[in-house]
Amino acid sequence: MPERTWELRLLLLLGLGLGSQEALPPPCESQIYCQGELLHQVQMAKLYQDDKQFVDMPLSSAPDQVLQRFNELAEAHNHSIPQQQLQLFVQEHFQPVGQELEPWTPEDWKESPQFLQTISDPNLRAWAGQLHQLWKKLGKKVKPEVLTHPEQFSLIYSEHPFIVPGGRFVEFYYWDSYWVMEGLLLSEMPETVKGMLQNFLDLVQTYGHVPNGARVYYLQRSQPPLLTLMMDRYVTHTNDTAFLRDNIETLALEVDFWAENRSISVSSGGKSYVLNRYYVPYGGPRPESYSKDAELADTLPEGDREDLFAELKAGAESGWDFSSRWFIGGPNPDLLSSTRTSKFVPVDLNAFLCQAEELMSNFYARLGNDTQATKYRNLRAQRLAAMEAILWDEEKGAWFDYDLETGKKNAEFYPSNLAPLWAGCFSDLGDVDKALKYLEDSQILTYQYGIPTSLQKTGQQWDLPNAWAPLQDLVIRGLAKSPSPRAQEVAFQLAQNWIRTNFDVYSNTSAMYEKYDISNGGQPGGGGEYEVQEGFGWTNGVVLMLLDRYGDRLSSGTWTVFLEPHCLAASLLLSLLLSLLPQ
């Protein structure tokens, strides 16, 4: 094979080779953080174990100067710069990660929030107290330099301080923040929540949507849309109707973004419905996972690479990066390169939007705008009908992602299949009891340490054997909506097991993790693109929510082993009788 110039290699990598499809636009304009030879050379040389490190490093001087010096260096080495020279160049022109952020102790943090007192088990109560302390470690504030010289940072300036997930995630993320805020409200920190909400609203004002996270390389993709729900939780907690009134139009803008940029029409039974999907029509490797994406694309014909890059970004937008949930058939269905996120209509996305439409309708009613209240009520009704027609499976008793290419539902188990219960997006309460049967039929209750993300083991982090806090919440609070005591009891028992997994790992490691491996007695999770991270925002939020909800019953020393349905009924009867005995 003839030697190729770096330009040609870069073009081929980006799928722009002769005869291939048209290029998609890059993830952002920055010639340092999103596209160009500097990014390409540094990331492909793998100077750091994690590609995210380089794109998080602030520049030491203006980007034009750095680019000019880089071009000189590249030309001096005929565009093949030895690794050591590259390393020196980066050391000279970039600063270490995290320079642009400073630690921040939330001003509304207080020693003893009320809810701690309602936790009966002293071990769990002490643990909740330590998680409450963690907000002080996870608090961050952007330094003013980022406002005065935004071009020298990949971090996007935010006016208000915030809570981050932790580990490699030192900036804030969209859907993580919802569970963080639930925890913060229990910790009686509504001012911190308000600041975080304001940051998101500012992003919508500037960019028209909420990006995946607060970095320029995340700009063109969003994440599961929970902003309206965040506002609802804040307003319910504080009665701050003025804040709602000031920002209702910005919330509407975000809902419009999903309608305008992420909708898809689906036909069934001679009728046409509009639903939503994750879709990010931008090219090039994700800057923060550049070498991984580039190497993966290298395994495909040149003409298919640009599409893969877009589908990987859509996978990141779904929050499930990555998962067999987005893999499409073919000879090697468990290959990451078969990711086709935009070819599915996801249950959870549509449930979140259905809920957002309902909340928008309630918000407008509260503000006395009946026209708008009616508009969103109608949108919700249309979506409910569409979800019923396209996603709901009466026989199985759950909703399923719809595959746009085959016109069929994906029958695999994912906790997201029950998201409509959690989101209150169903018309028949009987659906909740069908959901319990669905969990039993899928043998989900045989997993003692937590609800698995899927039943496929692929090595991806959103698959077996990992379990994630937000997905536990979707199922637990979904089931708890049922009027049936049995479904409510199973919800409690799932909560008990998840608390136990988190508590046991914490007891051994003094750390909270972003995900847990439930195949192995409950351990920090693994797989995917990076090492498991400690911290951890949404995990802490979900634990605090469960401790608040079931604090009078949860125990640090109990596991529930689920029984067959008839045994379960007997054991429920037994525990009912026992609870009637004098203590």
CA 90 from centre of chain: 31
- Using CB under 6 A as the binding rule, whether residue 520 contacts ligand NAG is answered as no
Contact status: 82 vs ligand NAG (CB under 6 A): no
Active site residues: 321, 514
Which residues within the stretch 192-211 sit at the binding site for ligand NAG (CB under 6 A)? 209
Record the tokens describing residue 299, joined without a space: 């395994």
Among positions 430, 521, 557, 565, the unique one binding ligand NAG when judged by CB under 6 A: 521
- Interface stretch with ligand NAG, choices 367-375, 539-547, 552-560, 569-577 (CB under 6 A): 367-375
- Count the Cβ atoms, other than its own, within 10 Å of residue 383: 23
Residue of 29, 72, 249, 441 interacting with ligand NAG (CB under 6 A): 249
Task: Supply 502's token pair.
Answer: 């988190």
Question: Taking CB under 6 A as the rule, does residue 5 contact ligand NAG?
Answer: yes
Give the separation between CA 411 and CA 475, rounded to whole angstroms.
17
Residue 344 has φ and ψ, to the nearest 5°, of -120, 150
Query: Which span (66-74, 91-99, 150-158, 515-523) binds ligand NAG, by CB under 6 A?
Result: 515-523
- Answer yes or no whether residue 239 interacts with ligand NAG by CB under 6 A: yes
- Nearest residue to 55 (alpha-carbon basis) of 28, 38, 33: 33
Burial classification of residue 546, based on how many CB atoms lie within 10 Å of its CB (0-12 exposed, 13-18 middle, 19 or more buried): buried
If the CB atoms of residues 199 and 456 are measured against ligand NAG, the closer one turns out to be 199
Q: Give CA–CA dist 92/569, Å, rounded.
A: 68
Residue from 1, 49, 75, 78 binding ligand NAG (CB under 6 A): 78
Phi-psi category of residue 151: left, alpha or beta, with phi > 0 → left and psi -120 to 50 → alpha: alpha
Using a 10 angstrom Cβ sphere, with 0-12 exposed, 13-18 middle and 19 or more buried, the burial of residue 519 is middle
Residue 552 binds to ligand NAG (criterion: CB under 6 A): no
The upper half-sphere exposure of residue 514, i.e. CA atoms within 13 Å in the direction of its Cβ, equals 19
| Separation between Cα atoms, residue 117 and residue 200, nearest integer Å | 32
Choice between 205 and 239, CB closer to ligand NAG: 239
CB of 490 to ligand NAG, least distance (A): 23
Could you say whether residue 220 binds ligand NAG (CB under 6 A)? yes
Query: Which of 64-72, 329-337, 364-372, 436-444 is the region at the interface with ligand NAG (rule: CB under 6 A)?
Result: 364-372
CA Rg value for the chain: 24
CB atoms within 10 A of CB 130: 12
Residues 370-399, one symbol each (x = binds ligand NAG by CB under 6 A, - = not), give -xx---------------------------
152 vs 220, beta carbon nearer ligand NAG: 220
Q: How far apart are CA 318 and CA 175, in angstroms?
A: 10
Q: How far is the CB of 321 from ligand NAG (least distance, A)?
A: 18
**Which residue, among 154, 145, 147, has the nearest Cα to 63 in the 3D structure?**
154
Nearer to ligand NAG, 149 or 366 (CB): 366
Q: Which residues between 252 and 291 bind ligand NAG (CB under 6 A)?
A: 260-261
Can you give the binding site for ligand NAG, defined by CB under 6 A?
3, 5, 78, 209, 220, 239, 249, 260-261, 369, 371-372, 504-505, 508, 521-523
